[in-house]
Chains A and B, each alone.
Chain A
Amino acid sequence: MLHKHSISTLLFTLAGSLLFLGACGTDHGHYSAIGVVLSVDGQMIAAQEQENITYADGDAISVPAGATTETITVEFLGDDGTPFTPERSGYSLNYTIGNTDVLGITHPAEGDEWSFRLNGNQAGTTTIQFELWHGGHSDFTSRAFQVRVEDSEND
């Protein structure tokens, strides 16, 4: 048989417990990317995995001057190495071109936020960086990819 004071204790504890039941959590999700892969028709043309950048051909992405590339698709690398294309709302692709006199971009390409074409404005070299943009900030900022705009052999 419990005493009065024990019952009082119980009342205190019940009052306090009501507060604890109100504790709610939220569940959020961000993409965690450690790299990016640029592909044309499923063939990688350049990629960054952590701090390492690789190119399919040479040491830069090659773009003909006065021409536009085929559609380049962007996939990001999750921290487990799996490529992914962001599907959640609120995400977009941002880019920064080092010299827009040399290189231009058509984005999005074919209405796909994760595809673009590069336009070779004039011969030269420049860089392009990509950002996985979400909620007003970058969730991933790539290293600068080298881009070489070359005069075509016919010119």
Chain B
Amino acid sequence: MRSPVSLLTLVMFLAVMMLPALVMYPSSAEASALKVVSLNGRILDSETGDPVSYVYLHLEEINRTATSDREGRFQISNLPQGTYTIYLHRIGYTDQKRTIDVDSEEPPKLEFTMQPTTLSGRAIEIIGRPGELRGSHLEDASITVIGMELRKNLGSTLSETLASQPGFAQRAMGAAPSRPVIRGLGDSRVLILQDGERTGDVSYTTADHAVTIDPITANEIEIARGPAALAYGSNAIGGVINVVRDQIPTSRHSALTGDASLLGSSANNGLSGSGNLKIPVGSDLMLNLDLNGRYGENYRTPNGHIDNTFIRSTNSAAALSYIRPWGYTGLALTSYLSRYGIPPDPGGGHPDGVDIEMARLQAESRSEFVYDGRFFESLETRFSYRYYHHKEFETPEIIGTEYTAHTTNVTVTGRHKSIGFFEEGTVGVWGEFQDYLVLDRGTLDATGLSGAAFAIQSARFGPWKVDAGLRLDIHHARPKRERTSLVIGEIRRRTFTGLASSASVAYDLGRGWQAGSSVMHSFRAPTMDELYSLGPHLAVYSFEIGNPRLNPERGLGTELFVSHRSNRTRFKGSVYRNAFSNYIYPRNTGRPSSTDPTLTEYRFEGIEALMYGFEGSAELRLRRNISLDGMVSYTYGRRNVDEAESEITGFDGDTAPLPMIPPLTFSFGANWAPGALSLGGRMRHGSAQERLGEFEARTGAYTVLDLHAQYRFSHAGLLHTVSLRVDNLLDEEHYNHLSRIKELFPEPGRNVNLLYRVYF
């Protein structure tokens, strides 16, 4: 028992959860005096006038959600008075954003109409108040994957689900362990959250570690960049991926609702299922239950099956919320249990492969208190504790490497009223305590204590929208045993402090066009693995050597973008540049380890590096039922080569390519959607990657063809959707440049995915 850790956890938990009550209520009016209202309404089809059921509603400013019932009715209770942006999403309809005023004592009764469409869910109809539309809905660099687009691309992992997004690629090592890479940036430069909370897993460390979120459970996936990302971390220059499961209910439903899904895939004889129930209990409580399971055998490639690429996992949760006029408080318990295989390395390391067994258990509490004060409108507190453990089995009896992490997070965020020319904003503090143990031939046993304060503000000036954010971080890493190693030097405690900042500006050009720019100055403290690793990692064929002298990684990211939205077209294009003064990465030295000559040494180093590129996506409705779409992504990455390296390696040049940079990729697709049916195809092309890091293998060009079909129907008052997708129809042999095993194994061959989902 780690009693000091547990006691500290308990004290922090109680302090944070009680903070709003202690701060607000003794000095505030009675809860009943709060100016809160309930939002009631109905949603109708604009062509038929029929009620539209199962519409997903999201109040963006305070992150409240609801779903319309069979009669198209919805209710969002306990809203503080104010102006909100409400986002409506429904399969087969154009997404809609509306600005609504909730400022009267009488609960407003709203009636929305939604327009049927053949475009994917990314087309958004924007409806504003007269005279205030211009500039009021300008986008930033963030995107959301939801609904039809999410189902169409749903894969067995989060990175597979996002792979078709512009700028995205996936780091992989077999079927299960994969992680999204954005604009060539991966690992801890891309932060992955579930319902706004860190996952506590170690997928950011090496390629064999899986992300502990099953995408089949996602309601939507948000990708935040720029100032919005600073609420979650100062290191996420690549972006923040938030998988929204809405586990802790924020609104009370009038009746039991839910959904169930079944997904089969042929390439690995895979089957996964999930179910979600939202159950109102009494007048104030909402119970949310999630159950999920996934099974997959070894996956098939055009060259045959790849040994030891199986996966078994279950990702389940139970949550209870207490919802009152003053806000809500809820508790969620989540588990993610998984066992999956790492394919064998015929050349050494592990000729029979490695099995990884992992468990993540999480308890999370979240409360929001609506506050009618002079400054704050609401205050949100979050507390989460996660136990993460994974074992890497070299044989059924032998454990090669074992990770254990106890992580506690605390966040307090206040949403405030306008200050000066800032119309809205949030300020907050965040803290994390982590007890981290990696047990292999060497032992990494350390603790980390981190804290941050942040502020994010938004302002509009006519057609201009400006967002700005600041975040101050302090991180302290302390090894349990300080000593001097002949291999990595003095293993000692380190403290890192840094200020990260970001700003974005967008300009409404009119007629659906907008242009903008964002800048981010990132700060990333070295991870404990980067500082203190000293041991073999057979699953990735490497012997990892940390560097306790590492300095923080600082990055300067800039982006220019232009976008267009209309009922017929959607377009977004960006050019970007990310420069790093101390880009930390495990450099393949090409030398066999002195501890295990069958493994190659990887040493963590900080270097100057530069990445730049462009990305774009477009969708065009040719006729009423026919649309075309396309996507392109390109990243160029290089690092500086110093004189010392040139002398050792004989390399002649000032710069060298960075490893694991995705090649140019693009795709074209066509979609035909006669009514409830949608049929389409997509051609994906990946160029050869000739710019190679040290000891990195080239991957060739490929072109693969995918087909997809979706059908939706209502029966017995339930909404049913069926999605069929055939990936790599022609069984083309191709290789992912970001796969750690690209020299050995190709990507999956023809894969038929069938997804059935019912909403009730």
Task: Give the B-binding residues of A (Cβ under 8 A).
Answer: 1-3, 5-6, 8-10, 12-13, 15-17, 19-26, 28-35, 48-51, 79-81, 135-141, 143
- Contact check, A21 vs B6: say whether CB atoms are below 8 A apart: yes
Q: B443 at the A/B interface (Cβ < 8 Å)? A: yes
- Contact check, B399 vs A17: say whether CB atoms are below 8 A apart: no
Which residues in B have their C-beta under 8 angstroms from that of A48? 594
Which residues in B have their C-beta under 8 angstroms from that of A15? 331
Query: Given A10-B18, A51-B594, A81-B486, are A5 and B365 neighbors across the interface (CB < 8 Å)?
Result: no
Q: Separation in Å of the B479 CB from the closest CB of chain A?
A: 13
Which residues in A have their C-beta under 8 angstroms from that of B22? 2
- Contact check, B324 vs A5: say whether CB atoms are below 8 A apart: yes
- Contact check, B31 vs A5: say whether CB atoms are below 8 A apart: yes
- Contact check, B322 vs A50: say whether CB atoms are below 8 A apart: no
Interface centre among A2, A9, A19 (most CB of B within 10 A): A9
- Contact check, B483 vs A80: say whether CB atoms are below 8 A apart: yes
Which residues in A have their C-beta under 8 angstroms from that of B597? 141, 143
Q: State A1–B17 Cα separation when bound (angstroms).
A: 16
Query: Given A29-B443, A32-B442, A79-B534, are A8 and B329 neighbors across the interface (CB < 8 Å)?
Result: yes
Query: Given A23-B2, A137-B394, A140-B596, are A9 and B13 neighbors across the interface (CB < 8 Å)?
Result: no
- Contact check, A5 vs B13: say whether CB atoms are below 8 A apart: no
Q: State A10–B367 Cα separation when bound (angstroms).
A: 11
Which residues in B have their C-beta under 8 angstroms from that of A20? 6, 9-10, 13, 363, 385, 408
| A-B complex: 4 closest residue pairs judged by Cβ atoms | A6-B21, A136-B398, A50-B594, A32-B442
Which B residue sits closest to A139, measured CB to CB?
B441
- Contact check, B9 vs A9: say whether CB atoms are below 8 A apart: no
- Contact check, B25 vs A30: say whether CB atoms are below 8 A apart: no
Q: Separation in Å of the B370 CB from the closest CB of chain A?
A: 11
- Contact check, B9 vs A2: say whether CB atoms are below 8 A apart: no
* Interface flags, B564-592, vs A, CB<8A=1, else 0: 00000000000000000000000000011
Q: List 29 A-B contacts (CB under 8 A).
A: A2-B25, A5-B324, A6-B25, A9-B17, A9-B329, A12-B330, A12-B331, A13-B17, A13-B365, A13-B383, A20-B9, A20-B408, A23-B9, A23-B385, A25-B5, A29-B443, A30-B442, A32-B595, A33-B595, A34-B595, A35-B594, A50-B594, A51-B591, A51-B592, A79-B442, A81-B486, A136-B395, A139-B441, A141-B598
- Contact check, B13 vs A25: say whether CB atoms are below 8 A apart: no
Q: State A111–B383 Cα separation when bound (angstroms).
A: 57
Choose, from B138-146, B287-295, B432-440, B721-729, the stretch at the interface.
B432-440
Which B residue sits closest to A50, measured CB to CB?
B594
Query: Given A12-B365, A23-B9, A24-B1, are A3 and B31 neighbors across the interface (CB < 8 Å)?
Result: yes
Which B residue sits closest to A129, measured CB to CB?
B597
- Contact check, A12 vs B2: say whether CB atoms are below 8 A apart: no
- Contact check, A50 vs B486: say whether CB atoms are below 8 A apart: yes
Among B318-362, those with CB < 8 Å from A are 320, 322, 324, 326, 329-331, 333
Which residues in B have their C-beta under 8 angstroms from that of A6? 18, 21, 25
Q: State A110–B334 Cα separation when bound (angstroms).
A: 56
- Contact check, A32 vs B10: say whether CB atoms are below 8 A apart: no
Which residues in B have their C-beta under 8 angstroms from that of A32? 441-443, 534-535, 595
- Contact check, A34 vs B395: say whether CB atoms are below 8 A apart: no
Query: Given A9-B329, A12-B329, A25-B406, are A17 and B13 neighbors across the interface (CB < 8 Å)?
Result: yes
* Interface flags, B4-32, vs A, CB<8A=1, else 0: 01100110011001100110011000010
Q: Separation in Å of the A58 CB from the closest CB of chain B?
A: 22
- Contact check, B385 vs A19: say whether CB atoms are below 8 A apart: yes
Q: Separation in Å of the B531 CB from the closest CB of chain A?
A: 15
Q: State A80–B437 Cα separation when bound (angstroms).
A: 20
- Contact check, B329 vs A5: say whether CB atoms are below 8 A apart: yes
Q: State A9–B22 Cα separation when bound (angstroms).
A: 12
Q: Separation in Å of the A21 CB from the closest CB of chain B?
A: 5
Q: B41 at the A/B interface (Cβ < 8 Å)? A: no
Which residues in B have their C-beta under 8 angstroms from that of A139? 441
Which residues in B have their C-beta under 8 angstroms from that of A21? 6, 10
Q: Separation in Å of the A37 CB from the closest CB of chain B?
A: 14
Q: State A81–B14 Cα separation when bound (angstroms).
A: 47
Query: Given A23-B5, A51-B591, A79-B534, are A137 and B331 neighbors across the interface (CB < 8 Å)?
Result: no
- Contact check, A16 vs B363: say whether CB atoms are below 8 A apart: yes
Which residues in B have their C-beta under 8 angstroms from that of A136? 394-395, 397-398
- Contact check, A16 vs B442: say whether CB atoms are below 8 A apart: no
Q: Separation in Å of the A73 CB from the closest CB of chain B?
A: 21
Which residues in B have their C-beta under 8 angstroms from that of A24? 1-2
Which residues in A have their C-beta under 8 angstroms from that of B442? 30, 32, 79
Which A residue sits closest to B441, measured CB to CB?
A139
Which A residue sits closest to B11, measured CB to CB?
A17
Q: Separation in Å of the A97 CB from the closest CB of chain B?
A: 16
**Among the listed A25, A33, A81, which residue makes an inter-chain contact with B2, where contact means beta carbons less than 8 Å apart?**
A25
Which residues in B have their C-beta under 8 angstroms from that of A16? 13, 331, 363, 365, 383, 385
Among B136-181, those with CB < 8 Å from A are none
Q: Separation in Å of the A40 CB from the closest CB of chain B?
A: 24
Which A residue sits closest to B320, measured CB to CB?
A12
Which residues in A have their C-beta under 8 angstroms from that of B486? 34, 49-50, 79-81
Q: B310 at the A/B interface (Cβ < 8 Å)? A: no
Which residues in A have their C-beta under 8 angstroms from that of B441? 30-33, 139-140
* Interface flags, B214-239, vs A, CB<8A=1, else 0: 00000000000000000000000000
Query: Given A9-B18, A20-B363, are A135 and B399 neighbors across the interface (CB < 8 Å)?
Result: yes
Q: Separation in Å of the A31 CB from the closest CB of chain B?
A: 8
Q: State A3–B27 Cα separation when bound (angstroms).
A: 12
- Given A5-B324, A10-B17, 14 more A-B residue pairs with CB atoms under 8 Å apart are A6-B21, A8-B322, A12-B329, A13-B13, A16-B363, A17-B13, A20-B6, A23-B6, A48-B594, A79-B488, A136-B395, A137-B398, A140-B441, A141-B596
Which residues in B have their C-beta under 8 angstroms from that of A81? 486
Q: B648 at the A/B interface (Cβ < 8 Å)? A: no
Which residues in A have their C-beta under 8 angstroms from that of B402? 28
Q: Separation in Å of the A79 CB from the closest CB of chain B?
A: 4
Q: B404 at the A/B interface (Cβ < 8 Å)? A: yes
Q: State A88–B363 Cα separation when bound (angstroms).
A: 37
- Contact check, B14 vs A30: say whether CB atoms are below 8 A apart: no
- Contact check, B322 vs A5: say whether CB atoms are below 8 A apart: yes
- Contact check, A79 vs B485: say whether CB atoms are below 8 A apart: yes
- Contact check, B2 vs A80: say whether CB atoms are below 8 A apart: no
- Contact check, B21 vs A9: say whether CB atoms are below 8 A apart: yes
- Contact check, B400 vs A137: say whether CB atoms are below 8 A apart: yes
Q: Separation in Å of the A35 CB from the closest CB of chain B?
A: 7
- Contact check, A17 vs B10: say whether CB atoms are below 8 A apart: yes
- Contact check, B594 vs A143: say whether CB atoms are below 8 A apart: yes
- Contact check, B435 vs A25: say whether CB atoms are below 8 A apart: yes
Which residues in B have their C-beta under 8 angstroms from that of A8? 322, 329
- Contact check, A19 vs B598: say whether CB atoms are below 8 A apart: no
- Contact check, B9 vs A25: say whether CB atoms are below 8 A apart: no
Among B35-85, those with CB < 8 Å from A are none
Q: B387 at the A/B interface (Cβ < 8 Å)? A: yes
Q: Separation in Å of the B649 CB from the closest CB of chain A?
A: 17
* Interface flags, B438-465, vs A, CB<8A=1, else 0: 0111110000000000000000000000
Which residues in B have their C-beta under 8 angstroms from that of A9? 17-18, 21, 322, 329, 367
